[in-house]
Amino acid sequence: MRLVLSLLVSFFYLIILGRPAVAENIQCSTVTAPDLQNAKIGTLNVVNGKACTSDGLPDKCNWEHSIQRDEILRPTLGKEIRLIVINAKHMTGSGSWDTVLVFDCFNGNLRKIFEKGYLYGVEIKKNTDSEIIFISGEWQTDDPMCCPSGEKKEIYRWDSNKNTYILGSTIAVPKN
C-alpha cells in the first residue's frame, strides 16, 4: 500500500506539476555565466531564487519552489558543470521534493545533463567534484509515508565518456 501511495504521489508531482526539467533557451559562454536565480527552468519562472506553481487553481501558490544550492563543480580537468537543487514545498498540503539538476554549457546553450528527484529532500556530500553522495530517506515495509526509518546513500561518479554522473553504488541502512 505504501509503495502504491508513493508511486501515486510521485506520478502526481512528476506529471501534473512538472519537475523543473531544463533551462530553456539560456545562452552561455560558460556554465557560470547564466543567472539561474532569475530564469525559466522547465515550467518554473524563477525570480530571486523562488517560484510558485498551482495544483490547478488560478493565482494559487500550492507549491513554493526555491533554489537551495547553486554550485560550480569541476569533475575533470577543463570541465565545468553547474549543480543546483530546487526544493518544492507543498504549501496547501503535505510533502516536499528536492530536485537535483546538473548543467553544462554546450554549443552556447545551457544543457541539462543530470536530473534526480527526492521525496522529502536530499543531502549532498562531495568526496571530490567527480564523486558526489546523495543521502535521502529509505522507506521500510512498515513505514508510514511521512517518515522513512531508513537512509539511502547513492554514490555517483563522473563519467567523461557519457558526460554525466553515473550511479556507482547504493547503500541503504536503517536509522537508529
Asked whether the beta carbons of 150 and 170 are under 8 A apart, the reply is no
**In which band, very low, low, confident or very high, does the pLDDT at 113 lie, cut at 50, 70 and 90?**
very high
- CA dihedral of 130, 136, 142, 145, whole degrees rounded to 10: -140
| DSSP H helical ranges for 12-153 | none
Give, for 67, the enclosing helix (H) or strand (E). strand 63-76
Contact 17, 25 (CB under 8 A): no
Task: Let me know: does 81 contact 75? Beta carbons within 8 Å.
Answer: yes
In angstroms, the Cα distances linking 73 to 41, 44, 69, 80, 97 are: 19, 24, 12, 6, 23
Would you mind telling me the total number of residues written for the chain in this entry?
176
Give mean pLDDT, residues 79-107. 95
- Domain-wise residue ranges, the chain: 2-174
Mean predicted lDDT score pLDDT of the chain = 87
Task: Give the model confidence (pLDDT) of 23-70 as tens digits.
Answer: 657 899 999 999 999 999 988 999 999 999 998 877 789 999 999 999
pLDDT digits (tens, 9 = 90+) for 137-150: 999 989 999 899 99
Question: How far apart, in whole angstroms, are the C-alpha atoms of residue 27 and residue 106?
Answer: 9
- Residues of the chain with pLDDT > 90, as a percent, come to 71
The helix/strand/coil state of 33 is coil
